[in-house]
Amino acid sequence: MGTTDPIEKPIIFFDGVCNLCNASVQFIIKRDKQGKFLFSSLQSTEAQRSLPSELVEFNNYQSLVLKKGEDIKTKSSAALTISRHLSGLWPALYFFMIIPKFLRDFIYDIIASNRYKWFGRKDECMIPSPEFKTRFIN
């Protein structure tokens, strides 16, 4: 897993039953060559334990959450911050942080509200492949 203590690694919390979210996790894993991120579903006990209760309870799993230490980013800010650490040209997307958060999140919310309708959902949270299992927290 590298020399970084896993507790110090950023954790990406995602809706474990959402097909779009699961595809996004697979996308991130393929472009996170150095294994900078850990993953956990918003439905997990890890999310209940380490995220503020109001974020988990009222989020309704509508937001991607990025947590590093005490710093928590949600929605478009989380997605753009993650892109900044991926291989290839994806870090260039971080440029969109100049757009006011309320506008970025407005578009994010439209996609999040329709993600099950557009991309479908699973009955259970995804099970990571054996090669990436160490990057997932319960």
pLDDT digits (tens, 9 = 90+) for 51-102: 887 776 655 667 889 999 889 999 999 999 999 999 999 999 999 999 999 9
The secondary element (H helix, E strand) that includes residue 11 is strand 11-14
Q: What is d(CA 34, CA 111) in angstroms, rounded to the nearest whole number?
A: 29
Question: What single-letter amino acid sits at 83?
Answer: S
Tell the burial category of 35 from Cβ atoms under 10 Å away from its Cβ (0-12, 13-18, 19+): middle
Q: What is the pLDDT of residue 135?
A: 85
pLDDT digits (tens, 9 = 90+) for 16-30: 878 888 889 999 999
Entry pTM: 0.85
Q: What is d(CA 3, CA 8) in angstroms, rounded to the nearest whole number?
A: 11
Confidence of residue 106 (pLDDT cuts 50, 70, 90): very high
The secondary element (H helix, E strand) that includes residue 90 is none
CB-based contact 101:80 (threshold 8 Å): no
Order of strands across the sheet that contains 71-74: 38-41, 11-14, 65-68, 71-74
CATH code for the domain defined by 6-129: 3.40.30
Short-list 77, 68, 64, 132, CA closest to 105: 77
* Average pLDDT value for the chain: 85
Q: What is the pLDDT of residue 6?
A: 47
Q: What is the pLDDT of residue 57?
A: 64
